[in-house]
Structure 1
């Protein structure tokens, strides 16, 4: 063995320094091929008994891949049929540089012995390393290194076959001239036996357009034109957000503009996909329009059948523009960066042949054209598909099949879809993570007691939803002094078990939050912590972090202290059980008295908070009751709230505020805080407009005025009106976000919804990683723990906050999607009349809110593609009139609710108006007798009554 140093020197006369880069080359690097008798042997996964699967080569062979084959065709490489692959170190480094997710996928295959991959360190081998020429581009240099390695293998082992796979025509031409066998990945896969799955997974990057005679979309500007236009202010860069109600409409959020830019029609959207970073050209002000007031769905199936889409574009243009709602309008002229990902969905029915349309679950994503040779099977499955390209001659983007998830409608499959669609990490915890857990049995030692405040004697209890096992907060209240109280909030000390920089810490930081689905919980930390050692269960001794106040009878804080503690909760209540304990005057034990004291103080705190301008918003939250055996939904209902819900909330809010003040005082540059930005005034336009039509003045000048306006917005004849206005107000809000204190000015710390200048999250460390960071900061202020570099690094804190904000947002969406799926499951085969309210008036539809189930559904006023001859739409008054009946926003209605499952991918509720009764449009109530034609098929017969429907379903269950 010997080593040498290759020096690359750059020096200039004068004050310039000489830079020397050392590159070591060696002569003892093993080629990895088992048949080699000259190299120094090391462990290699390459196989000499590998069964040849390619008919182009008579004997077994080894594949050497270039970088782009790996980057573009990772889904093909995932298939176990492809083995004996040599990955050059040059290629591996470039893959890591260009795509970390693909690098991780590749590394997991390399580490799997059964896949027979081997990494050859070509850039340090004395016979395969070559020096880069001064004027040589890095891509050309890497290609030269790859070809050098291929030639070396051929000379080194002349009895073996080595094949270079490359999609670069120039690289292949040079390789062939040098005598290296080379193929495109497509040519190779087409020659593999039983290749249907592999062919389906080929990425469609190169689309030939000779057979197409017409462009559907305008061309994108070049990168140079885009950058120049953005620089001189003629063009604007932003993030594209597609409408879920109208497939021909979207918005581009531009940082430098107050309002998003509206884009409409095919030429306006110009192949932008939701989330893409795009460049827009803004039209002259006289060409600006208002967002469309119609609901448009893309139901076309033909690749070039554009008549339907042209009709819908004309319908879009005919939609009248409301002067007060006109927005900056423009068109997408180029794409800076695609945000394409893997999408879940199904194949659209009614198509034959190899070309199929894939319908994503996410309505904001267009249908995707794929090639598949297994369409009959895949129509029964939920799939994952990714986009490869979107040529301007094609109505839909082109992509390829990645894998099948499972049978359509299967609950396990649907849970997987929800998690994948919302990018929720849900793999099993790794061995490295599990190795960080404490060994059982876990006990509290004398050493632990000396480091903490022992409050096991206090009457502490927890109050949580039914079935909660990850209990991370508990409370106590006891009288002290002259009419005073000691109130404590005790939070699970998760940070004690999760130390900075460990595998479990990195995993928790990546996951960021626990995700709650209807019948499944995706924990942020392993179950041993979340449901056992950290959970503050009744009767169990646990470590906690306590925030304790001394208060007077009017809930004024006289003193605050923080300390790590040992507690023993005396009881674990549900909200309802705690409420019953408070209300039962015969119960006067210490726990009952503690709960009553907490409840009394919480009412004072809430009243004071609301007087300061805190908002009481609303969103319809539902609870789904599941069959414990079949795991099918038995009932859907809006969650019941008790006084105890508010009681717990008030003390959690107070603890978070108190902790925020403490950590900011100690760490003014790197405290992790939570802010709720003040919404731009234009966000409130729908709320103001809705109030105006009802004769209500909604003042949005500040949070306090808004809160007062909402409190006063009541009408005796419509008891649900106020709730609906609060739901509408909730949708006007921006999202609350985490941030590092040193990155913003103090006036930007404000939490709009809570009307407090300072806020953080401290009270849920079992399910939120932000709380663990806050615990670590607070522990330093108390002298209970020491700091570490990343905790005080403002840049790393900011990066962490970005991940936390993203993961929390996705967890919210995943939870809603799970509720939506199970609500659909509950309504299958049911026909019910329910009370509802008009939430929005559209040109061709009414948006109806059904409070009982928390549903918001569309009631169409005419058949698709037709205009209504019954209803007359008034844009100014935002109303729909039919005869002597006029419908406005927030009017009560009764609707018939059923589920349309014809489109399995996008099952949707179908509404029919029951009352007010409109001749030729409304239907008779279910309770009244209906004529049933005995000659009609069973599928068309209507059930005679709601009670009959209930009995049938009950028998079925």
Structure 2
């Protein structure tokens, strides 16, 4: 049966056209219920004894997905039109619904109602959100499990239901969509993403392309109910109300200023430039400041934390109103209703935001899930993963079905493949951190008769096993990267691949993708070639073992000679990069010794970088550059590359201010000038130069993936490496970006076809955005894991130690080494003249001149874990004068 649909649409050129589409209807689409006498029930998903079958609409799915995911909800039919509508409105909820529908353990069935002649309708009549919510609540009550009511999302009041833009100014007058969009077009308002300061929740930034700078938002009032990550419209204050960075350290124990969050009755009496402390006395004029006037796109999701301690209300079986406190300090407290208060007060829980009434100090939300006991290491690690949107679930049966059977070995078919070169005769070896099992890179360095070297970088051939469009590939693309926590690794790919089939372990034959150069002894590249290969590593060395071999003059075996030759080449290559302007930056990586049974930290120290580390890094960088050049040559508009934007003068200002305070003159006019300046920044203290480099690193933006067709050639630059082109090729076991680049390279050398995704620019851009998001979250999760284990380690080990001052403030200073604030004055005390602060020269001294502290000075401190607020332990640093 054929139906015709017609509609009109407006083209980009402004013309109105009529579109007619043919719609085919069938009568043989089954309903999924085994009790149905009409349909074929052989593939039924619903139970034969189901007393109730739920048919959910779009609004129920979008608002009540937390409830639907509960095991108590089953026997559900999802209409195909609902699935499509949810996909259009919220991709995250759509993915969660698809997971439910594809889970063989759950009774969810997708019915193609749009293509069944009995269920196809031209128009659907709905009911009000409140009526629908009442029906949902009635149904949940009928299940006889009161705790399920906690999972219900609470509907917003009528005056805050958002359309495309929600005006949030504390005014009774409603501002419609067109007013804000018109203001954006006319330059009255400025659009950007709100980023709340991780260490000061009363300070936020909105990057605005329209003014080419970040707009600072001080105080919750000026944030106007916007959350971190929201796309917002911002109104600039007059220039005489602009503020620079605040000069006080915000005490983590400070509660929010009550008056700063109560919305006045009209816009006229709103405190338009309220800052976090309630006054602007401790700021200096400078950077653009403003307030949020509208939210264009919400970034609400689920948050981890705990309930604010409170006494059990009378009649504990009823509904209790509680405040949820997120572990992420950027998130305001959230009001929830719960029927299980007694069970939740000592637990880490997940809460989702539902709405934020204009006249309410806090947003409203609902309970989603209990994670575990507060303070338990497993619970707190799970919080880290959830907060950073890390998927740590086991791989599905569909994903595992994509793997080849074990034990796996290189076959004769691989060896006879004309597109794959047999390199098993080469003396290939790997150098990695101790205990590394997911080895994705190996090296070789062979002297040639002409005095040059054949140098190879061999990378695990992951794409031989991960094929486009398979469940394995889809899962890897969503995960984006492996995540490294202190005590465990969360893999992007299943362990049979990461630790066995693809891992370039010693003394076993493995498939690789190789980059091979001919190099002169001066490290000049004479020629480059790329090939799929079969290798057999002769040794899997740790950095310590490789360094020991190079340093031991008694060793003259072939493997040690290869290491020394590679190291000599790497030193030349490194110096050449530095001469071009590459920055030698630094970061303080902490390493823990972990108890193998309890997984608790036994010892803590700093990760040591050796020449062996730098040798491997140099050849990985060279391979990435060579591959970037090759794929861009063949695919100038769809290559996946990596860029590092040039930092602005404003971004480098904190570094320049600190350098000037200690008499250093840093030239930041180019990466080369900065690199030379950093090389000259030496003192008597060997740690001094590293600290300056760490401060420089913190002023940089992160490097990001991008599609070559989205930017102009000058924008491809990788500032930190001083490389005009760069990509990621060398770690496909743990990074999906490298998998994509392997496919590009294989197509560039003519051994495979380019997958269809590379023809879709929008899909490639979305892929790059997801990779950047996943990479950033993995980094944040790793840092949060270090912070968690630092707290666990020092919880029973109060310690005196030394650290360096990196920033002077009017009420104290910030330390580095053991990072955190030290307060010179009591909370709420401005010092009463006891301390004199010179922020210009980054110095603080007592009024009587008896004590003086300077930036980068070493000071002695006492460290201990305290809990000034319930369920929020922190490492407290106290100065020992």
Normalised TM-score (structure 1): 0.83
The aligned runs of 1:589-600 (5 Å cut-off) are: 589-600=557-568
Does the 8 A contact of 1:841 with 1:847 survive in 2?
yes
- Please state if 1:203 is matched with 2:153: yes
| Residue equivalent to 1:236 | 190
Q: In structure 2, do the counterparts of structure 1 residues 273 and 457 end up closer, same or farther at CA, with 3 Å as the change threshold?
A: same
Does the 8 A contact of 1:221 with 1:333 survive in 2?
no
1:207 CA drift (Å): 4.2
1:788 CA drift (Å): 3.2
Q: In structure 2, do the counterparts of structure 1 residues 249 and 301 end up closer, same or farther at CA, with 3 Å as the change threshold?
A: closer
1:330 CA drift (Å): 0.8
| Residue equivalent to 1:251 | 205
- Please state if 1:79 is matched with 2:41: no
1:230 CA drift (Å): 0.8
2 CA distance for matches of 1:665 and 1:40?
55
- Which structure's CA Rg is the greater one? 1
- 1:382 pairs, out of 317, 325, 348, with 348
| Residue equivalent to 1:784 | 751
1:308 CA drift (Å): 12
Q: In structure 2, do the counterparts of structure 1 residues 442 and 330 end up closer, same or farther at CA, with 3 Å as the change threshold?
A: same
- Please state if 1:833 is matched with 2:800: yes
2 CA distance for matches of 1:285 and 1:312?
15
| Residue equivalent to 1:99 | 90
1:471 CA drift (Å): 0.7
| Residue equivalent to 1:69 | 60
The aligned runs of 1:275-294 (5 Å cut-off) are: 275-294=229-248
- Please state if 1:5 is matched with 2:28: no
For 1:146-191, what per-residue CA distance to the aligned partner results, in whole angstroms no more than 9, with x for missing partners?
xxxxxxxxxxxxxxxxxxxx6535x77xxxxxxxxx9432344455
The 3-state SS of whatever aligns with 2:212 is: coil
| Residue equivalent to 1:871 | 835
| Residue equivalent to 1:936 | none
Does the 8 A contact of 2:249 with 2:813 survive in 1?
no
2 CA distance for matches of 1:538 and 1:10?
64
Deviates more, 1:246-255 or 1:268-277: 246-255
| Residue equivalent to 1:524 | 492
The 3-state SS of whatever aligns with 1:315 is: coil
| Residue equivalent to 2:781 | 814
- 1:360 pairs, out of 326, 334, 337, with 326
Does the 8 A contact of 2:221 with 2:274 survive in 1?
no
2 CA distance for matches of 1:625 and 1:535?
25
1:754 CA drift (Å): 0.7
| Residue equivalent to 1:514 | 482
Does the 8 A contact of 1:292 with 1:316 survive in 2?
no
Does the 8 A contact of 2:624 with 2:727 survive in 1?
yes
Does the 8 A contact of 1:87 with 1:119 survive in 2?
yes
1 CA distance for matches of 2:103 and 2:723?
53
Does the 8 A contact of 1:322 with 1:875 survive in 2?
no
Q: In structure 2, do the counterparts of structure 1 residues 9 and 99 end up closer, same or farther at CA, with 3 Å as the change threshold?
A: closer
For 1:603-636, what per-residue CA distance to the aligned partner results, in whole angstroms no more than 9, with x for missing partners?
1111221121110111110101101111110011
- 2:650 pairs, out of 682, 692, 707, with 682
Does the 8 A contact of 1:216 with 1:393 survive in 2?
no
The 3-state SS of whatever aligns with 2:505 is: coil
Q: In structure 2, do the counterparts of structure 1 residues 386 and 300 end up closer, same or farther at CA, with 3 Å as the change threshold?
A: farther
2 CA distance for matches of 1:651 and 1:429?
33
Q: In structure 2, do the counterparts of structure 1 residues 372 and 8 end up closer, same or farther at CA, with 3 Å as the change threshold?
A: closer
- Please state if 1:861 is matched with 2:824: yes
For 1:773-831, what per-residue CA distance to the aligned partner results, in whole angstroms no more than 9, with x for missing partners?
22222223333333333235444332221211111111111111111111111111211
| Residue equivalent to 2:845 | 881
2 CA distance for matches of 1:782 and 1:209?
60
2 CA distance for matches of 1:506 and 1:359?
35
1:391 CA drift (Å): 1.2
Name stretches of at least 5 consecutive residues in structure 1 with no aligned partner.
Answer: 51-59, 133-140, 144-165, 173-181, 918-957
1 CA distance for matches of 2:662 and 2:628?
41
| Residue equivalent to 1:193 | 144
| Residue equivalent to 1:148 | none
Q: CA RMSD in A?
A: 3.1
2 CA distance for matches of 1:24 and 1:746?
47
2 CA distance for matches of 1:461 and 1:834?
41
Q: In structure 2, do the counterparts of structure 1 residues 123 and 645 end up closer, same or farther at CA, with 3 Å as the change threshold?
A: closer
The 3-state SS of whatever aligns with 1:280 is: strand
- 1:700 pairs, out of 659, 664, 668, with 668
The 3-state SS of whatever aligns with 1:645 is: helix
2 CA distance for matches of 1:298 and 1:537?
47
The 3-state SS of whatever aligns with 1:73 is: helix
1 CA distance for matches of 2:239 and 2:484?
46
2 CA distance for matches of 1:622 and 1:455?
38
| Residue equivalent to 2:226 | 272
2 CA distance for matches of 1:7 and 1:307?
54
Does the 8 A contact of 1:846 with 1:859 survive in 2?
yes
| Residue equivalent to 1:928 | none
1:303 CA drift (Å): 11
For 1:326-351, what per-residue CA distance to the aligned partner results, in whole angstroms no more than 9, with x for missing partners?
11111111111110111111122245
- Please state if 1:168 is matched with 2:129: yes
1 CA distance for matches of 2:188 and 2:257?
34
Does the 8 A contact of 2:235 with 2:290 survive in 1?
yes
Q: In structure 2, do the counterparts of structure 1 residues 221 and 637 end up closer, same or farther at CA, with 3 Å as the change threshold?
A: farther
Q: In structure 2, do the counterparts of structure 1 residues 558 and 292 end up closer, same or farther at CA, with 3 Å as the change threshold?
A: same
| Residue equivalent to 2:304 | 344
For 1:571-629, what per-residue CA distance to the aligned partner results, in whole angstroms no more than 9, with x for missing partners?
11111111111111111111011111111111111122112111011111010110111
- 1:672 pairs, out of 640, 661, 665, with 640
| Residue equivalent to 2:447 | 479
2 CA distance for matches of 1:501 and 1:806?
21
2 CA distance for matches of 1:10 and 1:729?
57
1:44 CA drift (Å): 4.7
Does the 8 A contact of 1:218 with 1:392 survive in 2?
no
Does the 8 A contact of 2:242 with 2:287 survive in 1?
yes
Does the 8 A contact of 1:167 with 1:184 survive in 2?
no
1 CA distance for matches of 2:49 and 2:227?
46
The aligned runs of 1:137-148 (5 Å cut-off) are: 141-143=124-126
1:283 CA drift (Å): 1.2
2 CA distance for matches of 1:693 and 1:732?
17
Q: In structure 2, do the counterparts of structure 1 residues 626 and 286 end up closer, same or farther at CA, with 3 Å as the change threshold?
A: same
1:369 CA drift (Å): 1.5
2 CA distance for matches of 1:423 and 1:46?
32
Q: In structure 2, do the counterparts of structure 1 residues 272 and 298 end up closer, same or farther at CA, with 3 Å as the change threshold?
A: farther
1 CA distance for matches of 2:456 and 2:148?
61
The aligned runs of 1:946-957 (5 Å cut-off) are: none
Does the 8 A contact of 2:274 with 2:280 survive in 1?
no
Does the 8 A contact of 1:218 with 1:270 survive in 2?
no
| Residue equivalent to 1:178 | none
2 CA distance for matches of 1:486 and 1:287?
63
For 1:485-525, what per-residue CA distance to the aligned partner results, in whole angstroms no more than 9, with x for missing partners?
22221111112222222222222222221111111111111
For 1:829-872, what per-residue CA distance to the aligned partner results, in whole angstroms no more than 9, with x for missing partners?
2111111110111222311112xxxx311112223223324323
